[in-house]
Chains A and B, each alone.
Chain A
Amino acid sequence: MSARQTEAASRLIKGATGDWEIVIGLEVHAQVLSEAKLFSGASAAFGGEPNSHVSLVDAGMPGMLPVINQFCVEQAVRTGLGLKAAINLHSVFDRKNYFYPDLPSGYQISQYKQPVVGEGAIVIDLPDGTSRTVGIERLHLEQDAGKNVHDQHPDLTLVDLNRAGVALMEIVSKPDLRSAEEAAAYLKKLRIILRYLGTCDGNMDQGSMRADVNVSVRRPGEPFGTRCEIKNVNSMRFVAQAVEVEARRQVDLIEEGGTVRQETRLFDPRAGETRSMRSKEEAHDYRYFPDPDLLPLELEQAWVDAIKRSLPELPDAKKQRFIDTYGLSAYDAGVLIGERETADFFEAAAKGRDAKLVANWVIGDLAGALNKRGLAITDSPVGPGAVGELVDLIKNDTISGRIAKDVFEIMVETGRNPAEIVEEKGLRQVTDTGAIEAAVERVLAANPAKVEEVKLKPKLMGWFVGQVMKEMGGKANPAALNEILAKRLGL
């Protein structure tokens, strides 16, 4: 088998009658970061008293006309450019008709045949260190619906229209994903890109990003099977679980002689299963038609070009630059670019220093300390300058790497600078060979039996290193100590 076939084979799942390939496409709804809604002047902010972020347009009152929010269009175009996608200078808004209480006008304003953004691509990064390119089919703008509350009254559903009319970008991938892992990696990368662009906050807990997952299975090499759409999956973990569970269901169904029916399903993480949403079946006839209240959206190429020039450095480019200019591993670079703020912190700390060592501290001890305290890197008690100074103290042999960890703990607790802590606590490492030799002699004199033993078992030298370190309060320069000890023991 070629490498490519081996790679493809590793993603297959086993059935009772042979191997199956999973085919996945994702439709991600990402809430546009904006102050006001897509077609009205009501606030797009999360929360608020019920029905307080609602204009008469959002409530579907007769005679109200939608007027598009220019900034929401800009955000969609910016996202399209970030996804290396074609921008359609001419696009059209359509009405998608369906009946549900959270949709007061009886239709959602969306884009059907002529979306604002066309084909693009995302490079996804997999846990084994490899990358794959996944196609983007399109991105269009549409309105969010309101919120139905079912658990407050035995016979009634309560409706809050605060979300109704908030701008969403629906980002549709091509059916290029082949495993649960890839689906999760796609969502993760898309989230990072949106956050870099500042077009969506990526907050999955608050529903700012939700995914509809299309899953089908086939024998390798055969045409696509019938797909099922799993609605509203709201975390990366659940996307992966939903794919696993649904693919397994379809394989079992087909192997038992059944056929997969195209339908909408719901993922229940507690039960670990997907269930048919029968009520959605008959609603699938959306009777799209161009919204007569809205003229086609015409964009100027010069305006699109200006947005393009204002794009920040994107995650893939930043990762490559970190590898090229700082000599970082792909893994370390990948972790650092996960949040723009972390990447900025690293760059500020690494300026003119040993970047690999700085990266280790940012990814390791700093990330650990922040995680433990539930802090974002922007709220870190230890700034990039202080991390840099700590690395300087290690590099110029003022302190050892081990002592640095103690110093760092104090920095996190007190926010003080490392040099000050080293001086005050007397942690400066001892490089004076005379002092180290004296401590070595004291340890040897106190342990004559071990001295005999080490002649037969050279590995015991580590024990002596530990003892001398203890004798010197951990402050001996490790390299100097090793050299002196080896010489003295004749090893």
Chain B
Amino acid sequence: MAVDKETVRKVAHLARVGIEDAELAPLTGELNAILAWVEELGAVDTSHVEPMTSVEADAAPRRSDTVNDGGRPEDILKNAPERIDSFFAVPKVVE
């Protein structure tokens, strides 16, 4: 698997990472090097191995339906770059 410059540009946009045109070629090279490295795993025959989605063999822990959090807007808003009253305030996004 390999990526081209257009794919890199698209992925960067989807992740809202700003990159210059000049960076595209080196980034594409770096990403392809990483992908090639990961591809080495393909050398192992895993046709008889169940896919592993987690290193944890236990069942997922569950919580009960109890309200035991919230009620602390100041903590939630502490790192907000901008706020109005108890709202986060961000550059306007409208459909």
CB distance from B61 to the nearest CB of A (A): 6
Q: Choose, from A16-24, A236-244, A294-302, A359-367, the stretch at the interface.
A: A294-302
B15, B65, B91: which contacts A69 (Cβ < 8 A)?
B65
* CB pair A50 B63 closer than 8 Å: no
* CB pair B59 A298 closer than 8 Å: yes
Q: Choose, from B20-28, B29-37, B40-48, B81-89, the stretch at the interface.
A: B81-89
Q: Kindly state whether residue A157 has any CB partner on chain B within 8 Å.
A: yes
Q: Kindly state whether residue A424 has any CB partner on chain B within 8 Å.
A: no
In the docked arrangement, what's the CA distance between A161 and B62, Å? 23
Within A131-159, the residues touching B (CB, 8 Å) are 148-150, 152-159
Q: Kindly state whether residue A261 has any CB partner on chain B within 8 Å.
A: no
Question: What mask results when residues 68 to 94 of chain B are scored 1 for a CB within 8 Å of chain A, else 0?
Answer: 111111011100001011111111111
A55, A67, A97, A101: which contacts B90 (Cβ < 8 A)?
A101
* CB pair B91 A157 closer than 8 Å: yes
CB distance from A153 to the nearest CB of B (A): 7
B15, B63, B69, B88: which contacts A51 (Cβ < 8 A)?
B88
The chain B residue with its CB closest to the CB of A297 is B60
Q: Choose, from A282-290, A333-341, A427-435, the stretch at the interface.
A: A282-290
* CB pair B89 A49 closer than 8 Å: no
CB distance from A199 to the nearest CB of B (A): 13
Q: For A152, list chain B residues within 8 Å (CB).
A: 84, 87
Q: Kindly state whether residue A100 has any CB partner on chain B within 8 Å.
A: yes
* CB pair B63 A68 closer than 8 Å: yes
A43, A51, A68: which contacts B60 (Cβ < 8 A)?
A68
* CB pair B76 A59 closer than 8 Å: yes
B56, B87, B91: which contacts A50 (Cβ < 8 A)?
B87
Interface size on B, residues (CB 8 A): 40
Q: Kindly state whether residue B6 has any CB partner on chain A within 8 Å.
A: no
Q: Kindly state whether residue B13 has any CB partner on chain A within 8 Å.
A: yes
Q: Choose, from A34-42, A321-329, A395-403, the stretch at the interface.
A: A34-42
Within A261-289, the residues touching B (CB, 8 Å) are 266, 277, 279, 282-283, 285, 287
A35, A72, A99, A292: which contacts B66 (Cβ < 8 A)?
A35
CB distance from A182 to the nearest CB of B (A): 28
The chain A residue with its CB closest to the CB of B93 is A157
* CB pair B54 A292 closer than 8 Å: yes
In the docked arrangement, what's the CA distance between A282 and B35, Å? 25
Q: How large is the interface on A (under 10, 10 to 19, 20 to 34, 35 or more residues)?
A: 35 or more
In the docked arrangement, what's the CA distance between A412 and B73, Å? 47
CB distance from B9 to the nearest CB of A (A): 12
Within A309-352, the residues touching B (CB, 8 Å) are none
* CB pair B73 A158 closer than 8 Å: no
In the docked arrangement, what's the CA distance between A100 and B92, Å? 11
The chain A residue with its CB closest to the CB of B68 is A41
The chain B residue with its CB closest to the CB of A57 is B69
**B60, B71, B86, most chain A CB atoms within 10 A:** B60
CB distance from A347 to the nearest CB of B (A): 31
The chain B residue with its CB closest to the CB of A70 is B62
In the docked arrangement, what's the CA distance between A424 and B53, Å? 77
* CB pair B87 A296 closer than 8 Å: no
Q: For A99, list chain B residues within 8 Å (CB).
A: 14-16
Q: For A297, list chain B residues within 8 Å (CB).
A: 60
CB distance from A417 to the nearest CB of B (A): 42
In the docked arrangement, what's the CA distance between A54 and B69, Å? 7
In the docked arrangement, what's the CA distance between A279 and B90, Å? 17
Residues on A close to B: CB < 8 A? 34-36, 40-43, 49-57, 59, 67-73, 92, 97, 99-101, 148-150, 152-161, 266, 277, 279, 282-283, 285, 287, 290, 292, 294-298
Q: List 13 A-B contacts (CB under 8 A).
A: A35-B67, A36-B69, A51-B73, A67-B63, A72-B65, A99-B15, A101-B88, A152-B87, A155-B92, A156-B82, A156-B91, A292-B54, A298-B60
The 8 closest A-B pairs by CB, nearest first: A71-B65, A42-B70, A41-B69, A158-B87, A295-B60, A55-B69, A70-B62, A159-B88
Residues on B close to A: CB < 8 A? 10, 13-16, 53-54, 56, 58-73, 75-77, 82, 84-95
Given contacts A36-B66, A70-B65, A159-B89, 20 further A-B contacts (CB under 8 A): A36-B63, A36-B69, A43-B67, A50-B85, A50-B87, A51-B88, A55-B69, A56-B76, A57-B69, A68-B60, A69-B64, A70-B62, A99-B15, A154-B92, A156-B82, A156-B90, A158-B87, A161-B76, A295-B58, A295-B60
